[in-house]
Amino acid sequence: MPDPSHEDQLLQQAIAGEVVALEQLLWSQYDRLQRRIQRKIPAGMRGSLTAEDILQTTFVDAWKNIGTFAPQGDDAFYRWIATIAERKLTDRVRAQGAAKRGGEKAVAGMQQAAASSMVNLVDLVAGDWRSPSGSVAFREAERILTVALGNLKDDYRTAISMRYLQGKPIADIAKKLNRTERAVQMICNRSLKKLREALGRSSLYLSKQ
């Protein structure tokens, strides 16, 4: 986790639009946020909802809104991102509650979506990647890719999530995005390239921690 002065510098850079600075801030807060949200998930939903699900949507908001963030007081960035995460959690809990009232079929669909795993995506993006100390650990790669997914364009993130987290066929994604299957394949390839670039950048930062 960055020291306060370094974090302040990163925050100012992130607000100014520097991608790497915001990546570093989000990477540094990931584990802390994950623990906080995991504790707050209702016991009855822990089989169908994970903290990682919430963080994925949280980071999308962080990427979109960092330029309007006005830090105030100590630990301002963490408090800001934690507020977003808790709001996302509240929305998701309400949505699942509504789905449950709508019947078992709706609940099953949400549980299947929530059960999506980062394993396939990490294997695909990080499988052959090597840091100076060897293979990147799954946990480290997971948080890096979760942060990076938030910075993808909406269509790119949807395509990656449907294809590699939910295992949907290209045809289904094309229908969802109203694009040709060839266009979806190009979107997936470009998205994977961006994720690999983010993983490569992380080695320059995380190796210094």
pLDDT in tens, 132-182: 554 557 788 888 999 999 999 999 999 999 999 888 999 999 999 999 999
In the chain, the DSSP E strands lie at 130-131, 134-135
The correct answer on CATH 3.55.10.10 for the domain covering 119-206 is no
Residue 56: pLDDT band with limits 50, 70, 90: very high
Distance CA 41, CA 115 (A): 15
- Interval 40-50 mean pLDDT: 85
* Domain range 4-114, CATH class: mainly alpha
Q: Is the pLDDT of residue 125 over 90?
A: no
Mean pLDDT of 116-135: 67
DSSP reduced 3-state for 72? coil
Residue range(s) of every CATH 1.10.1740.10 domain in the chain: 4-114
pTM for the whole thing? 0.81
- The predicted pLDDT at position 46 comes to 79
Residue range 72-95, pLDDT digits in tens: 888 999 999 999 999 999 999 988
Q: Where in the chain is the domain with CATH 1.10.10.10?
A: 119-206
